[in-house]
């Protein structure tokens, strides 16, 4: 039995909450769900005492935390210090100059796929003997608009191409022809990496806003956890052992630094 200050949390509530807390094993998921329900229960109870109840659980908790927490924004010097200590995290993405020859074939057309694969293998065999013919073969055989520019895709970064192509392309050496045809939803590709441009360090001014948001988020999380820890310490709680962070599903948005 799980209870907060004498109020029992039903098994039905616990079962519903478990879907939001995937974990290794049912017991771990159950305990995470119990922790979350206890924390939310304590916060709602506190909000009720202060007359801060709103139309929804989320709005009520937000009103309580806004009323109770004071978060000090990091200043320019704190941001600068964090930047200097973590410069390896602030790099522009790598860029790749690539080319391809697309032998188009619908993913559900088995015969067309076989034909495209056979054609791609023949083109690869030719290119292994005569790599200088890539542009000519792209112009003659590729079903992509890039055929007009010898198959050139220009400069691309991660996320610009379908994942099947990126998996192979980004593991090639400069000037290397992919040794096997690559299938995607568009058909079969013959790939070549012409050049890799390493990501350059980002200047402080370009990343300062993200650092400020990141530090603000960390400060907020710390304040939430400290506040909840105080509520837990004063409450009579049965049936739950707190093993994880005390702010499940209560923090603001996560901030990426790059």
pLDDT at residue 253, as a whole number: 39
pLDDT at residue 255, as a whole number: 42
pLDDT for residue 258 is more than 80:
no
| Closest CA relative to residue 91, chosen from 188, 199, 251, 240 | 199
| Closest CA relative to residue 199, chosen from 256, 158, 153, 255 | 158
Which whole number is the average pLDDT over 54-78? 89
pLDDT at residue 54, as a whole number: 93
pLDDT at residue 247, as a whole number: 52
Evaluated on CA atoms 216, 222, 226, 227, the torsion sign reads positive
Does residue 177 sit in helix, strand or coil? strand
pLDDT at residue 239, as a whole number: 84
Token readout for 143 is 């079903």
Domains and CATH numbers, the chain: 2-85+204-238 (1.10.4030.10), 95-197 (3.10.50.40)
Token readout for 48 is 């009720």
pLDDT at residue 243, as a whole number: 64
Token readout for 30 is 């159950």
- Rounded to the nearest 10°, the torsion over CA 156, 160, 162, 163 is 80
pLDDT for residue 180 is more than 90:
yes
pLDDT for residue 150 is more than 60:
yes
Which helix (H) or strand (E) segment is 104 a member of?
strand 95-104
What residues does 191 pair with on adjacent strands?
100
- Rounded to the nearest 10°, the torsion over CA 66, 68, 69, 70 is 100
pLDDT band at 252 (very low <50, low <70, confident <90, very high): very low
For 80-117, how does the pLDDT look when each residue is reduced to its tens digit (9 = 90+)?
999 999 988 888 888 999 999 999 999 999 999 999 99
pTM, full prediction:
0.57
pLDDT at residue 257, as a whole number: 52
| Closest CA relative to residue 213, chosen from 248, 246, 251, 244 | 251
Which whole number is the average pLDDT over 207-230? 90
Instruction: Determine whether 165 is exposed, middle or buried from the number of CB atoms within 10 Å of its CB (0-12, 13-18, 19+).
Output: buried
For residue 56, CA distances in Å to 20, 52, 62 come to 18, 11, 10
């Amino acid at each position: 039995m799980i209870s907060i200050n004498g109020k029992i949390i039903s098994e039905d509530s616990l079962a519903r909450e478990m879907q939001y807390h995937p974990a290794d094993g049912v017991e771990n998921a159950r305990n995470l769900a119990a922790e979350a329900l206890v924390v939310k229960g304590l916060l709602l109870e506190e909000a009720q005492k202060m007359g801060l109840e709103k139309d929804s659980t989320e709005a009520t908790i937000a009103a309580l935390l806004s009323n109770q927490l004071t978060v000090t924004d990091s200043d320019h010097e704190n941001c600068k210090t964090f930047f200097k200590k973590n410069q390896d995290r602030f790099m522009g993405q790598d860029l790749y100059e690539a080319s391809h020859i697309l032998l188009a074939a619908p993913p559900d057309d088995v015969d067309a796929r076989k034909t495209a694969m056979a054609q791609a293998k023949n083109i690869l065999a030719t290119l292994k003997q005569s790599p200088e013919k890539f542009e000519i073969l792209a112009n003659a055989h590729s079903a992509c608009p890039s055929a007009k520019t010898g198959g050139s895709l220009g400069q691309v970064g991660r996320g610009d191409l379908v994942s099947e192509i990126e998996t192979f392309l980004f593991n090639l050496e400069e000037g290397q022809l992919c040794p096997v045809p690559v299938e995607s939803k568009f058909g079969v590709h013959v790939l070549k990496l012409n050049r890799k441009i390493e990501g350059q360090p980002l200047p402080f001014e370009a990343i300062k806003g993200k650092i400020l948001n990141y530090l603000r988020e960390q400060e907020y999380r710390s304040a939430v956890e400290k506040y909840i820890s105080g509520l837990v310490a004063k409450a009579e709680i049965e049936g739950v052992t707190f093993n994880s962070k005390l702010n499940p599903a209560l923090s603001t948005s996560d901030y990426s630094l790059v």
